[in-house]
Structure 1
Amino acid sequence: MSSYPQVMALFCLVILSAFFSAAEISLAAATKTRLQALSEDGDRRADLVLELQEHPGQFFSALQVMVNAIALLGGIVGDAAFSPFFMWCLEPIIPAVNLPHVGFVLSFLLATTLFVIFADLLPKRLAIARPEVVAMRVVRPMRIVIKVLRPIVFVLERLSDACIRSLGLPTKRQETITSEDILASVGAGAAAGVIAPQEEAVIQNVFELESRLVPSAMTPRENIVYFTTDETEASIRAKIATVPYNRFLVCDKDLDHVVGFVDSKHLLRLVLDEKPICFQEGGLVQPCQFIPDSLTLSEVLDVFQRTHADFAVILNEYALVVGIITINDVMSTVMGDLVTTTDELQIIQRDDDTWLVDGATPVDDIEHALGIDELPEDSAYETVAGFMMYMLRKIPKRTDKVVCGEYTFEVLDVDNNKIDQVLVTRTKGKAPAPEASETTP
């Protein structure tokens, strides 16, 4: 009896099994965002795939019924297709009593190999390469299979849902996308060369706006140039000539009593018109926007959007001025090195293992530059200078050191108790525990 019909039947079963394998992996791997984009382009098949992803129980129930049925039929047909051939080949060398068993084992191994390679591995690898395309091609046939097997699918779906709920797991696919997922995708794109390193840095900085506080981007109190209401015109002209700022705070006697701010272009107009500069003149001093120092940079952008302002004074919990911030400061944080000149860099890498760091550098920036997840208790301070003071538990002096992991932080320069520069050195070998040490010069 010819075994050609059994061989053709086995070939058809392999094709069917390959189809269901590709359908299984493509539906599971297809991303919701890409399918939604295809749906918006008018592809109805993307809507059908999204619908199946919303109710995967029916799909996988029908799929498993067909996969297991095909596997059973494949074993039966494979034995009928190949056993006679192996028995005929091995008849001269194997006793007749053992021949049926050997033929069965060899036919089983051959059929299993065909199913594993052509009905499982290849279709799944092809489907995972382009899951959305494959999913949209198989979705309509799979809907027909689901309708044909509806009674069986209904029972299996209810039983599987009951088991999943008993384990406290969701019965529907979760499509929540977190910032970590996006950053991981961006990192993969940068590694593949699709995204430039500068673009990757900008995207990372955008997400850090949610966690970075205002002090990390502000102009600190000691760098603020301001006028007092009773300041002489000669002093005002000297400050304008010395410091090319766009805005200057106007205060009543000291910085903690802010009256408002004045735009430098208005002052320049008065100078060009040879008119006296008087802050009591109506319309010259404008009201300021005040914000607490506990806001994140993202919240500052919201404030600027609501108030149509681009400049704010930052107060601490004691209503004292700690700094000022503009929308350009926030944008500079996002753009990073793309808009920062060499003279403005706060972190200068001298070689592979040493960095020269400005004391006012935000903690987030130094952690990112050194590849550190977080410095010890970094919520207790905002800058590298604050880190040194917190770890040393005193006002630092030159040559004072702090060892944190594989990095050593050494104070290089102190001006009026303010840390100007810190040298960071990476040590080779085992990372020691964080510790502080003092050196008397």
Structure 2
Amino acid sequence: MNEGHPADGNEGLFSSLFKKITGKVKKDDDVTEEEIMDMVNEGHEQGVLKENEAEMIGNIFEFGEKHASDVMTHRKSIVGIEADTTVEEAFEFIMGENYSRYPVYDGDIDNIIGILHIRDLLKIYSEEKNRKKKLVDMKHQVLFDASYIPETRNISVLFKEMQSDKVHMAVVVDEYGQTAGIVTMEDILEEIVGNIFDEYDDEEVLISRQPDGSYIIDGQTLLEDIEDAFDMHFDCEDIDTINGYLIYKMGKIPQDNEQFECTCDGYSFRVLEVHDRMVTKVGARREEERQQPVT
């Protein structure tokens, strides 16, 4: 195992699971991840472990293999605020959003000048004299310095760093120094425990079945989630989302009126909507259903 892997030192977990499932004590604590996962799967099948418990243990082993680029919010999906926005405008904008922290950028998202917390904005907004001032002019009063990390930062290491530095949001940069995305403590924790929703979050429906039996899929839906939902397998590696898969199949950047369709493992996938050179909505249907004549 790699140094710092979350599974290191957890051999006792295997012994506990072994005893719980078999009723016996395993004296040999020299075990592999594969053995532990076999035991976890067996425990789930026998009803000793609930599905979410088994999934969480599996996530722990995958945790140490992931990087910031795997869990970040992509730059095109960042909800940020222009530096020349007034305090009053920023307040009105934030009231319509569901986040507590926002990157503030000067000109474009590659020039993030700090992180704005809604709590600090409310403090200066409470004084009417501040409301017409621009965020950039109140940078030292209201913005935290942004922390920058490379896309390749291991999230196990990153989690410890963010804990130690008391940083809740970091800017992920690519090899050219441009903003690739942002990552939060919540993003990292969700890799183990699954999606975290609070009372202000609206749960996203990424795959929705239509009355005619077809599906509408959000472009940022992970391929692995589609594979699980449709019991199929995509013919590619190193691509995370259905947007990325369709762009890979097209071999070009999609246009606003893009017309494209492809098939994979018994399903057809069709571009329905493109925004800012990204496929944002996809139609899907089983090939056998598509070929049935209308009666």
Note whether the superposition's TM-score is higher than 0.5.
yes
Distance 1:273 1:420, change over 3 A: same
Task: Report whether the alignment pairs 1:345 with 2:205.
Answer: yes
How many Å separate the matches in 2 of 1:187 and 1:203?
10
Q: How many residues align?
A: 265
Q: 1:336 aligns with which of 194, 203, 221?
A: 194
Question: Which residue of structure 1 lines up, in the alignment, with residue 244 of structure 2?
Answer: 386
Q: 1:290 aligns with which of 148, 151, 164?
A: 148
How many Å separate the matches in 2 of 1:367 and 1:324?
26
Question: Which residue of structure 2 lines up, in the alignment, with residue 176 of structure 1?
Answer: 31
Q: How does 1:258-407 map to 2 (within 5 A)?
A: 258-276=112-130, 277=133, 278-281=135-138, 282-336=140-194, 339=197, 343-348=203-208, 355-371=215-231, 375-379=234-238, 381-396=239-254, 400-407=260-267
Residue 334 of structure 1 and its aligned partner are, at CA, apart by 2.9
Distance 1:34 1:413, change over 3 A: closer
SS at 1:344 equivalent: coil
Could you say which structure has the greater relative contact order, defined with CA pairs below 8 angstroms and 6 or more residues apart? 2
How many Å separate the matches in 2 of 1:259 and 1:283?
13
Q: How does 1:183-222 map to 2 (within 5 A)?
A: 183-222=37-76
SS at 2:270 equivalent: strand
Distance 1:254 1:385, change over 3 A: same
Distance 1:377 1:297, change over 3 A: farther
Residue 186 of structure 1 and its aligned partner are, at CA, apart by 1.8
Residue 296 of structure 1 and its aligned partner are, at CA, apart by 4.2
| Runs of 4+ deviating beyond 6 Å | 34-37
Q: 1:245 aligns with which of 81, 99, 102?
A: 99
Residue 393 of structure 1 and its aligned partner are, at CA, apart by 1.0
How many Å separate the matches in 2 of 1:229 and 1:358?
30
Residue 389 of structure 1 and its aligned partner are, at CA, apart by 0.7
Residue 232 of structure 1 and its aligned partner are, at CA, apart by 3.2
CA contact (8 A) 2:150 2:173 kept: yes
TM-score when normalising by structure 2: 0.73
Higher helix share: 1
CA contact (8 A) 1:363 1:378 kept: no
Residue 268 of structure 1 and its aligned partner are, at CA, apart by 0.6
Which protein shows a greater Rg? Answer: 1
Question: Which residue of structure 2 lines up, in the alignment, with residue 256 of structure 1?
Answer: 110
Residue 265 of structure 1 and its aligned partner are, at CA, apart by 0.6
Distance 1:269 1:245, change over 3 A: same
Match of 2:104, as an amino acid?
Answer: V
Residue 411 of structure 1 and its aligned partner are, at CA, apart by 2.1
Higher strand share: 2
CA contact (8 A) 1:412 1:421 kept: yes
Distance 1:34 1:314, change over 3 A: closer
Residue 242 of structure 1 and its aligned partner are, at CA, apart by 2.6
Match of 2:180, as an amino acid?
Answer: V
RMSD: 3.5
Q: 1:410 aligns with which of 270, 282, 286?
A: 270
How many Å separate the matches in 2 of 1:202 and 1:34?
13
How many Å separate the matches in 2 of 1:229 and 1:131?
63
Distance 1:211 1:349, change over 3 A: farther
CA contact (8 A) 2:73 2:182 kept: yes
Residue 384 of structure 1 and its aligned partner are, at CA, apart by 1.4
Residue 214 of structure 1 and its aligned partner are, at CA, apart by 3.0
Taking every aligned residue pair, what percent have the same amino acid on both sides? 25
Residue 321 of structure 1 and its aligned partner are, at CA, apart by 1.2
Residue 337 of structure 1 and its aligned partner are, at CA, apart by 5.6
Residue 426 of structure 1 and its aligned partner are, at CA, apart by 4.3
Residue 35 of structure 1 and its aligned partner are, at CA, apart by 10
Which sits farther off after the overlay, 208-217 or 386-395?
208-217
CA contact (8 A) 1:360 1:384 kept: yes
Match of 1:415, as an amino acid?
Answer: H
Which sits farther off after the overlay, 325-334 or 310-319?
325-334
